[in-house]
Structure 1
Amino acid sequence: MFAPSQNDVRRFFCDAFKKRRDGSVMTPLETLAADWVDQHPEYHDDLADVDAALAAVFDVDAGRTNPFLHLSMHLSISEQVSIDQPRGIKQAFGLLAAKLGSAHEAQHEVMECLGQMMWESQRSGLPPDGEKYIDCVRRRATR
């Protein structure tokens, strides 16, 4: 299993952003990451300077969203949907995106469910509950 460090993740997104701006050759994953960065111009300043990005502290209590966490969740959800893992996420996501009329807004809703699942797993010490995660997404699609 690939387990990048916090700095690895930050460098990856900063590099993808730079390559997109420079018109450099990109891997498919960098292209997907840059596509998500393009949809979040509020993060461009955070990604423009890799040294500042590596040193940055994103304190939730101070009202700062961590752009690297947010973009990583977009990538995770994109991958989950593309391979339908956990099984059922592709359909649940499709229903939610259709309801909201926006795949991007659906991703943000799914992020809430993903974050909740991960928090519960960390708190309980149990593996993430994929069924509960899918149920959360389905509820959002049908309410």
Structure 2
Amino acid sequence: MLFNPSRDEARRFFIQTWQKHLQAQPLADLEAILVDVLIAHPEYHLFLNQDYLDHDWPPEHGDTNPFLHLSLHLALAEQLSIDQPTGVRALYQQLHAKHSDAHRALHDMLDCLAEMIWQAQRNNTQANPQIYLDGIRQRLGIIQ
């Protein structure tokens, strides 16, 4: 079965997982991955409550949607665990070596992933992994 939560379901998952972590409750595998991402982003902890279930962060205001940012981190964690698209893990390792910082490498990748998604939405097409991988390669200086 395909897991395709609504915006509210995804946000509730983030909030509930954070609460489970704070209460030292056992976590499922995906929850444990999410907690690692959340710990790396203390600037978003204040949004992990019911008050922000319906909040919007319009891009034209220059704000980053914390739930979108964290969701992209989860997508990256999955991609790296299964090396999909093929070669993404090796590119991450190169970025990590280049920056000597795992989180900075992930943020470089996250920007490329967001660009691929934005282009697919703008053009009303399927996401093109080549755009994503080429974006990472550009950050590595492999292609111009």
TM-score range, shorter chain: over 0.9
Q: Which runs of 5+ in 2 are unaligned?
A: none
Is the CA contact 2:8–2:54 (under 8 Å) kept in the aligned structure 1? no
Q: Distance in 2 between matches of 1:91 and 1:64?
A: 31
Letter in 2 for 1:75: L
Secondary structure, counterpart of 1:133 in structure 2: helix
1:34 paired with 2:31, answer: no
Secondary structure, counterpart of 2:68 in structure 1: helix
Cα offset, 1:125, TM superposition: 2.4
Q: What aligned pairs does 1:90-109 form with structure 2 within 5 A after superposition? A: 90-109=89-108
Please name the residue that 2:3 is paired with: 2
Please name the residue that 1:46 is paired with: 47
Q: Distance in 2 between matches of 1:78 and 1:124?
A: 26
Q: Distance in 1 between matches of 2:135 and 2:66?
A: 24
Secondary structure, counterpart of 2:53 in structure 1: helix
Letter in 1 for 2:8: N
Q: Distance in 2 between matches of 1:92 and 1:61?
A: 31
Cα offset, 1:68, TM superposition: 0.5
Letter in 1 for 2:45: H
Deviations 1:49-82 (A, max 9, x none): 22x0212222223332111000000000111011
Is the CA contact 1:96–1:138 (under 8 Å) kept in the aligned structure 2? no
Larger RCO (CA under 8 A, 6+ residues apart)? 1
Q: Distance in 1 between matches of 2:139 and 2:3?
A: 31
CA RMSD of aligned residues (A): 1.3
Displaced runs of 4 or more, over 6 A: none
Deviations 1:6-28 (A, max 9, x none): 00110011011111111001101
Please name the residue that 2:62 is paired with: 63
Q: Distance in 2 between matches of 1:53 and 1:30?
A: 19
Please name the residue that 2:112 is paired with: 113
Secondary structure, counterpart of 2:56 in structure 1: coil
- TM-score (structure 1 length as normaliser): 0.92
Percent identity over the alignment is 38
- TM-score (structure 2 length as normaliser): 0.92
Is the CA contact 2:112–2:132 (under 8 Å) kept in the aligned structure 1? yes
Cα offset, 1:131, TM superposition: 1.9
Deviations 1:65-112 (A, max 9, x none): 111000000000111011010011011111011101111111111111
Q: Which runs of 5+ in 1 are unaligned?
A: none
Q: Distance in 1 between matches of 2:54 and 2:126?
A: 31
